[in-house]
Structures are given as structure tokens and as C-alpha cells.
Structure 1
Amino acid sequence: MTLLAAIDDVGRDRKRGGYSRHVFEPAERQLREWFVEEAQRRDMAVRCDRNGNLWAWWGEPGPDAIVTGSHLDSVPGGGAFDGPLGVTSALEAVDTLRANGFTPVRPLAIVVFAEEEGGRFGVPCLGSRLLTGAIDPDAARRLHDLTGVSFAEAAVEAGLDPARIGRDDEAIANIGTFVELHVEQGRGLIDLGAPVGVASSILAHGRWRFTFTGEGNHAGATLLGDRRDPMVPAAEMVLAARIAASEVDDARATVGRLVPNPGGTNVIASTVDVWLDARADNDPDTRQVVTRIQELATDAAARENCELNVVEESYGGTVVFDAGLRDTVSSALGGVPALPTGAGHDAGILAAHVPTAMLFVRNPTGVSHAPEEHAEPDDCQAGVAALATVLGRLAG
């Protein structure tokens, strides 16, 4: 917890509460500088790859490396643990191994992935998607934040060459095994009475932007019968998300962001953008939920004489983590429980390319992506010890 406490004041959001640390913005860049300093203090060589991901190496970089790490960015108004706990625990696990006289036989690295949350440019796990070729570089360059800054422009400001972003075969070839530690996002471990667990799978999930287009007009001078108000079908779509998700077992559908244009109190909006997050146990169920929401939203738009356009901004199919590696990790930790997660992670992107495992640290309330996110100090230390044990087993 010492390292986590050292960054406690970075990126605090006085308006929302919690933290807002978005890729290449001042708070996140301060955290990146902090990570470089901490890694160098441990005599780890640090480099930034072409996609903005940071790599700190214990020993010479090379193939078949054991890689751990997470991310430092956050959702708007997020908690203190989501992402940074995995990074600080990795650094502290290196300290533990060295204190025990361990020297890795295989190369060992800590990675900090860029834009895992998609809090600035909208696409989650952007750094790992670019690394593995899971997103087209041109599409990534065209992404824009809320102020109109493109990812390409932000990359230049951060010292990257946007022309070089994209699949990095050399970096992928260096990863023999990836292990990510993360605070649990849910109540599985508290109910199981375990401080640490391993991940078995990740739900299929994606993000879609629904754009309703009507006619901007005066709120007082326009009769109800004369309106083409896109806010009406947008509101119906929020309810449609709950209806559609309730029709599929264990599905989840959420509208967490809605932006009217121009956004005046006494103005009928001309357009309304609504972002949908949908998740379910498998790809067909997730697609079924989204299709149902789109059908209901289309009908609502037609009733108000509005138009609807839907764009899929990101999607990740069901991830089942390498069973052999999962069992090896669990066994090394004395048989800790395995459980699925509804949250996406960079580990889920890498799992299609290299053997990948995840460790979860118990979250007593299950709350995440909010200021109330928490893990007890003793559980965090248990996570560090578990990660050190796993890294020592794999890299020894």
C-alpha cells in the first residue's frame, strides 16, 4: 500500500469525486513519470513502445518473458485501485523477490498499458488493442476526445509518432506469459471468504453509440405536436436497455453517458448521442441484447419522426483464460478459487495471443468504477505476496 499511497493525490477529481486520470493528460502523464522513476530506482530499464505502453525490464528484454502489470488511467471519477493496484503490486512483488534473493531465469517485465478504460478516446484497452492488432491504426488515429483532440494529436503531444502505432510483433514475441493483478470488480471473493482469486473468464462485451437526430428548436415556442425531439427516443432507449438485458440470463446493459447537442436548458436538441455498454455470458447473448435495444430504439425514433444511427465502437468476445496456466497459478497459491468477471481487462486482449492469467484482490463491497472502490491493506499485501509467488514460479 506504500506505493499506492504515494500517488493518492494525483488526478483527484474535485467535481465528481474519486480520480480522473486520462491517457496523455497531465494527471496520467504524471503517473507515467512516477512509474518510470520507481522502475529506474529498482534498476529496471524502461522504454515506451510505439503505442504508448511503458515496459520496465528486470534483466535484458527477450523472448519468453514473464510479464505483469496493468494500467494507470481511470474512468471519469473512478476509484483508487482499478489499474494502479496492479502496477504498484508488480513493483512491490519485484521488491519481495529481490529481498528473498531471487534472480529470474527468464526475462521479467512490468508493463503499463495506455488507455485501458477508454476514458478519453472511448475505446477500452486501446494500448493493448493496438499492440496486438485488434484495432485498425487508422481508426485509432481518428478517435477524438470530448474537446475534439484526436488520438493522433494527443500521441504527438506525448512524444509518439502516430504513423507508427499499430501491431507490434516484436513486443508480442517477447511475451511468454502475462499475469495481471487487479482489484476485484464484484463480490465474488468476499462471498467466498478468500483474499485472492484467479480469473476463469471474461464476459463478452462492447460499446455502441446511438445517435438520434431530430430538429433543434425553441423549448417555449414549439408545440408538442410540431416537435422532432431526439431526447424522447433517447430516453426510451435508456429504458429499452434495462428491458432487453432482463430478457437474457445474466446479461447487463448500461447507459452511462448521454450528450445532447447543443445542450441548452431551453433548447430542443438537434441530436442526442447515447452510449451503450452491453455484456453477457457469450457472443450470441450479447448480440441478442444489442439487437433488441436497437429494435426498440428504432421504433421510438420513428414515433418522434427522428432518425437513428448506431455505431459499434468496440467489441470483445468471451475470453476463457488458459486453463493450464490458471491451474498452475491457483496451485502455486494453495488452491485459491477461480471465478469469472464481467469487467474487461488488457489481459483479455492478450489472451488471444499469449498464455494469460489474472489475479483478483478481494473488494469488500464489490463497488468499482466509483470513489467508494476499496481493498483492505492486508488483502493488498496478500495480493503482492501472491503475485511474487506466481512470478517466482514462472520466471524461476
Structure 2
Amino acid sequence: MATATGLLGAIADVGVDRARGGFSRHGFDRSDLTLREWFVAEAAARGLDVEVDRNGNLWAWWGRPGPDAVVTGSHLDSVPGGGAFDGPLGVVSALAAVDELRARGFVPSRPFAVVVFAEEEGGRFGVPCLGSRLLAGTLDPDAARRLRDQDGTTLAEAVRAAGLDPDRLGRDDEALSRVGRFVELHVEQGRGLVDLGRPVGVASSILAHGRWRFRFTGEGNHAGATPIGDRHDPMLPASHLVLAARGAAAAVPGARATVGRVVPVPGGTNVIASTVDVWLDARAADDRTTRSLVEDVTAAAREAAAAEGCRVEVTEESYGDTVVFDPGLRDDLAAVLGGAPALPSGAGHDAGILAARVPTAMLFVRNPTGVSHAPAEHAEPDDCEAGVAALVSVLEHLAGGAR
């Protein structure tokens, strides 16, 4: 019978990033396709029937698909240079839970599936929770098809190369209507469980959050031949934005604002850039606070651009309002787990996208360092197995007849 850590070990050589450390596994790239093939093989070895929906999400069914299904799972892709646990832990724990339930002689009384959502991190095409957003109809399929990765490949081209029909991308009411309850297990992205001394918890909410692209346009020129007074250098207002983001977030309790990606064009060491793209990730407790934070950063960016004789264009690339997970389901699962603590999440998840359409819950597994989206992300083997045991109890409860 497989363990979560054993299954993680089986994929530990897929998508290793020698330059950044950790893993780089992005939607429909070679590493991601390898992991998708691995999942299909693991599902088949357990007698699960795999379907690929119109948006590239994988569904492995225990028994016949149908309405009111209990569904668990997560994603297999990563951020650039990400850790081993974010996403895959939820998938391997679901497979290990199936093994344990089978060993107990359990047979679900309602439809049951393990799902792998496509491109949750947005590491390739820039939109997080891509597969679940398309499924739920919160992302326009025409806009999605036009998304491009850093090499210029569109999402439409990538899914076609993976054997899918890009014309079918979009809201999938048939697939979504089958889901009665969705439970996503995830490594905690913080230290809440460490501070509480507990291996497993349940999620209460997700902060409102989004991504914005700031494009600063100036005048490309020679780094040595252009006097300082004659420059219109877009890197200066881009730098001001980074500082403004930190200052604006620090002034709001519980808020976060991060610049994790800056792309100058043409990107030469001895060249004044003609444009600089800067991506802002902003999060806060509610919609009003988050948008007010972004407005403050935007005002500072416009002022800095004007001072340098540059222009700035701001594009909202994705946004998700505050998510409060189904209180009844949350409390039910916490009781099943002997009073597991409820924790808010600063990170987005596919479960947060589905929460607007179906009753949804999350389980968190303790992360001893609190580090995530980095190679130091970790969960101890005993805590991983405690997560599987918790998931087994939850699935047995939900798929065995509980309402």
C-alpha cells in the first residue's frame, strides 16, 4: 500500500530546476505532461477510470461517474523553482487514501473521484487556477486561448499539442454538476499549525487577492552615451513601484503586496530599457481593502512615471474576492477530525474557485518552516501520513452516506 511520501518520491526527478532549485512544472509543458501520464497510470493501477474534461482537468473515478460526487485532489504544476509539496501532496494523499479505504473494505455509497486541476499556479500562462476558473466559467475562454507564455506559445497552441481541442475550453456545467462536495488537502503555506502544535487543520477562508501587470514605457537608449538628464528610463518608476508596494502593504494590517517578476525590454546590461513590465501580487482581508491597496500603489507608479517622462499602463490579469469556505462542511469535518483547528489562508487554491459553486473544504498539513513556493517547503513524513489519515476519515464520512 502506497504512502504519500513514497508517491512523492516517485515523481521527485520530474521537473527539477537546476538553476533555481526546487521544481519548475508548468501547465502542459514536458514536466507537467509527464506528471499527468504518471497520475493516469497510478489511477489505472487502482482501477480508477480517468476522464479528461474540456479544460484539461483529470478526473479519476472510483465507480461510475454521477451527480452528488465526493471529490478530492489538487494540482501537480508548480511555481518557477517551487517546492515538492504544494499541489502534489494533495494528489498523492488522495491516491494513498484510496489505497487505505480499499484495504478497509470500504465501498463509497455515492460517486467518488480524485481530480487533478490544470495550471493552478499560473506559472506558464500567468493566470492562477486556470483549469478550475475555466471549469467554473469565471475566465473568458477567448481571453484564455490568447494567453501566451514567455516563449510566445498561446494556451490554445499548448492544449492542442497536448491532444485537447482549444475550441472546447470554457465553462463546463456537466463536469461541475457532478461535484457534491470537494475537499482539497494542501501543505500549509504558513506557520499556523506549528504555533498550535497540531499536524492537521481545516481552512476557514482565503484572502482577497489578484495580479496586476504594470507596463512602464520610456525611451530605449545607450547606457554610456545618454546623459542622465536626457533619459526617460522606465526602470526608475518600476523601482518606485516595488518600494510603494511594500510601503502600502505595511500600512494595512494583514495585507500583502509583492513584486516577484520584472521583465525589461530589450534586457541588455548596457541598454536603457524601452519598456519594463512589473507584476504586482496584492492580497488583503476583503475586496475593498485589496483594491484600495492597489489604487495606492497605482497612484505612486503613475506619479513616478510622470516624473521620469514615461507612461504606465495597468492591466488586471486575475482577481479573486474573499472566500469563506462552507461553514457547515468546515465544522462537520473539524468534528470528524476531533476538533481540528480552523485557519485562514493567504494563498489561493482551486478549492477557492469551486467554493462559489459547490460546498468546498480544505485540509492543511503542518509545514515546519512555514516556507512555501520555494525549495525549502517541507512537511515531515509523519505529518504527511497524518494528513492521509485525516483525509481517509473525511472521505469515509462524506462518501459513506453522511449529509
User: What TM-score comes out, normalization by structure 2 length?
Assistant: 0.98
Following superposition of structure 1 onto structure 2, how do residues 203-242 of structure 1 map, counting pairs within 5 Å? 203-242=207-246
Query: Does 1:384 find its partner at 2:388?
Result: yes
The CA deviation at 1:249 is 1.3
Match in the other structure for 1:198: 202
Query: Does 1:26 find its partner at 2:27?
Result: no
Whole-angstrom CA distance in 2 between matches of 1:156 and 1:231: 37
Whole-angstrom CA distance in 2 between matches of 1:368 and 1:250: 18
Match in the other structure for 2:270: 266
Whole-angstrom CA distance in 1 between matches of 2:301 and 2:27: 32
Secondary structure at 2:36's aligned position in 1?
helix
Secondary structure at 1:110's aligned position in 2?
strand
Whole-angstrom CA distance in 1 between matches of 2:136 and 2:202: 23
Match in the other structure for 2:185: 181
- Percent of aligned positions that are identical: 74
Whole-angstrom CA distance in 1 between matches of 2:102 and 2:164: 33
Aligned residues: 396
Secondary structure at 2:73's aligned position in 1?
strand
Whole-angstrom CA distance in 2 between matches of 1:245 and 1:277: 11
Whole-angstrom CA distance in 1 between matches of 2:324 and 2:11: 33
Structure 2: gaps (5+ residues): none
Match in the other structure for 1:357: 361
The CA deviation at 1:140 is 0.2
The CA deviation at 1:246 is 1.3
Query: Does 1:99 find its partner at 2:95?
Result: no
Query: Does 1:142 find its partner at 2:146?
Result: yes
Q: Which amino acid aligns with 1:13?
A: D
Instruction: Give per-residue Cα distances to partners, 1:109-146, cap 9 Å, x unaligned.
Output: 00000000000000000000000001000010010000
Match in the other structure for 1:76: 80
The CA deviation at 1:370 is 0.1
Match in the other structure for 2:333: 329
Whole-angstrom CA distance in 1 between matches of 2:104 and 2:228: 74
The CA deviation at 1:47 is 1.1
Match in the other structure for 1:38: 42
In the TM superposition, structure 1's runs of 4+ consecutive aligned residues that sit over 4 Å from their partners are: none
Indicate which of 117, 121, 128 corresponds to 2:121: 117
The CA deviation at 1:88 is 0.1
Instruction: Give per-residue Cα distances to partners, 1:206-233, cap 9 Å, x unaligned.
Output: 0000000000000000001100000000
Whole-angstrom CA distance in 1 between matches of 2:167 and 2:219: 39
The CA deviation at 1:248 is 1.2
Query: Does 1:170 find its partner at 2:174?
Result: yes
Q: Which amino acid aligns with 1:381?
A: E
Whole-angstrom CA distance in 1 between matches of 2:360 and 2:221: 53
Whole-angstrom CA distance in 1 between matches of 2:378 and 2:224: 47
Q: Which amino acid aligns with 2:107?
A: T
Match in the other structure for 1:282: 286
Match in the other structure for 1:66: 70
Whole-angstrom CA distance in 2 between matches of 1:176 and 1:55: 14
Q: Which amino acid aligns with 2:39?
A: F
Secondary structure at 1:186's aligned position in 2?
coil
Following superposition of structure 1 onto structure 2, how do residues 42-57 of structure 1 map, counting pairs within 5 Å? 42-57=46-61
Whole-angstrom CA distance in 2 between matches of 1:330 and 1:96: 21
Match in the other structure for 2:397: 393
Whole-angstrom CA distance in 2 between matches of 1:80 and 1:214: 40
Instruction: Give per-residue Cα distances to partners, 1:258-310, cap 9 Å, x unaligned.
Output: 00000000000000000000000000010011000000000000000000000
Whole-angstrom CA distance in 2 between matches of 1:341 and 1:377: 22
Q: Which amino acid aligns with 1:49?
A: D
Whole-angstrom CA distance in 1 between matches of 2:43 and 2:12: 18
Whole-angstrom CA distance in 2 between matches of 1:132 and 1:145: 23
Whole-angstrom CA distance in 2 between matches of 1:57 and 1:181: 18
Secondary structure at 1:279's aligned position in 2?
strand
Whole-angstrom CA distance in 2 between matches of 1:22 and 1:322: 30
